[in-house]
Chain A
Amino acid sequence: MTDIALQDGPEIAALPARARVLRRLRLGDATFYALTQAAAIAVLALLGGVIIALLLGAMPALSKFGFDFVTTERWNPVTEVFGAIAPIYGTIVTSIIAMLIAVPIGLMIALFLTELCPIPLRRPIGITIELLAGIPSIIYGIWGLFVFAPFLQQYVQPALINTLGGLPGLSVLFAGPPYGIGVLTAALILAIMVLPFITSISRDVFEAVPPFLKEAAFGLGCTTWEVFRNVVVPYTRVGVIGGVMLALGRALGETMAVTFVIGNAHRISSSLLAPGTTISATIANEFTEAVGDIYTSALIALGLILFVITFIVLAAARYMLLRIERRIG
Chain B
Amino acid sequence: MVQTVKTTATTARTPLYAGRRRRNAMMIVLAWFAALFGMAWLALILGALLWEGLSGVSLRAFTEMTPPPGSGGGLLNPIVGSLILTGLGVAIGTPIGILAGTYMAEYGRYNKLTSVVRFINDILLSAPSIVVGLFVYEILVRPMGHFSGIAGAVALAIIVIPVVVRTTEDMLLLVPNTLREAAAALGLPRAYVVHRIAYGAARAGIVTGILLAIARISGETAPLLFTALNNQFWSTNLNAPMASLPAVIFQFALSPYNDWQRLAWTGALLITLAVLALSIIARALSSSDKN
Tell me the A residues contacting B by CB distance below 8 Å: 1-3, 5-6, 25-26, 28-29, 31-33, 35-44, 46-47, 49-50, 53-54, 56-57, 105, 108-109, 111-113, 115-117, 125, 127-132, 134-143, 145-147, 192, 195-196, 199, 214-215, 218-219, 221-226, 228, 246, 249-250, 252-256, 259-260, 280, 283-284, 287-288, 299-300, 303, 306-307, 310-311, 314-315, 318, 322
Residues of B within 8 A of A256 (CB): 221-222, 246, 250
Cβ contact of B49, chosen from A1, A139, A195, A254, cutoff 8 A = A139
The 20 listed contacts between A and B (C-beta, < 8 Å) are: A2-B184, A5-B184, A32-B190, A36-B100, A36-B102, A39-B102, A43-B117, A43-B165, A112-B32, A127-B283, A132-B41, A136-B221, A146-B265, A221-B4, A222-B4, A283-B130, A283-B134, A284-B225, A287-B137, A287-B225
Name the interface residues of B168-190: CB closer than 8 Å to any CB of A. Answer: 181, 184, 187-190
Inter-chain contact A288/B107, CB cutoff 8 Å: no
Besides A134-B275, A138-B268, 6 other A-B contacts (C-beta < 8 A): A36-B102, A37-B108, A44-B116, A46-B158, A128-B42, A135-B42
Inter-chain contact B107/A50, CB cutoff 8 Å: no
- Distance, CA A42 to CA B95, complexed state (A): 12
Cβ contact of B279, chosen from A44, A129, A134, cutoff 8 A = A134
Q: Which of B17-25, B54-62, B73-81, B232-240 contacts A (4 or more CB under 8 A)?
A: B17-25
Cβ contact of A288, chosen from B124, B225, B246, B272, cutoff 8 A = B225
- Distance, CA A287 to CA B225, complexed state (A): 9
Residues of A within 8 A of B107 (CB): 33, 36-37
Q: Which of B64-72, B202-210, B212-220 contacts A (4 or more CB under 8 A)?
A: B212-220
Cβ contact of A138, chosen from B114, B132, B134, B250, cutoff 8 A = B250
Contact A226/B128 with A29-B189, A40-B103, A127-B283 known, Cβ cut-off 8 Å: no
* 10 closest residue pairs by CB, A with B: A136-B219, A253-B128, A39-B99, A108-B34, A36-B103, A223-B24, A39-B100, A32-B191, A112-B31, A255-B222
Closest chain A CB from B177 CB (angstroms): 10
Closest to A37 in B: B103
Residues of B within 8 A of A228 (CB): 27
Closest chain A CB from B134 CB (angstroms): 4
Q: Mark B99-126, 1 if CB is under 8 A from A, else 0.
A: 1101110111000011011011111101
Inter-chain contact B31/A109, CB cutoff 8 Å: yes
Closest chain B CB from A200 CB (angstroms): 11
- Distance, CA A53 to CA B141, complexed state (A): 12
Inter-chain contact B226/A287, CB cutoff 8 Å: yes
Tell me the B residues contacting A by CB distance below 8 Å: 1-2, 4-5, 20-21, 23-24, 27-28, 30-35, 37-39, 41-42, 44-45, 48-49, 52, 95-97, 99-100, 102-104, 106-108, 113-114, 116-117, 119-124, 126-132, 134-135, 137-139, 158, 161-162, 165, 181, 184, 187-194, 215-216, 218-222, 225-226, 229, 246, 249-250, 253-254, 261, 264-265, 268, 271-272, 275-276, 279-280, 283
Determine the main DSSP class of A at the interface with B.
helix
Closest to B43 in A: A128
Determine the main DSSP class of B at the interface with A.
helix
Inter-chain contact A50/B135, CB cutoff 8 Å: yes
Contact A40/B131 with A1-B184, A129-B39 known, Cβ cut-off 8 Å: no
Residues of B within 8 A of A139 (CB): 45, 49, 219, 268, 271-272
Cβ contact of B120, chosen from A43, A199, A219, A307, cutoff 8 A = A43
Closest chain B CB from A246 CB (angstroms): 6
Which of B32, B96, B123, B126: most chain A CB closer than 10 A?
B126
- Distance, CA A295 to CA B44, complexed state (A): 40
Residues of B within 8 A of A38 (CB): 99
Residues of B within 8 A of A57 (CB): 134, 138
Inter-chain contact A318/B123, CB cutoff 8 Å: yes
Residues of A within 8 A of B138 (CB): 53-54, 56-57, 300
Inter-chain contact A136/B34, CB cutoff 8 Å: no
Closest chain A CB from B171 CB (angstroms): 15
Inter-chain contact B191/A28, CB cutoff 8 Å: yes
Inter-chain contact A303/B130, CB cutoff 8 Å: yes
Inter-chain contact B190/A2, CB cutoff 8 Å: yes
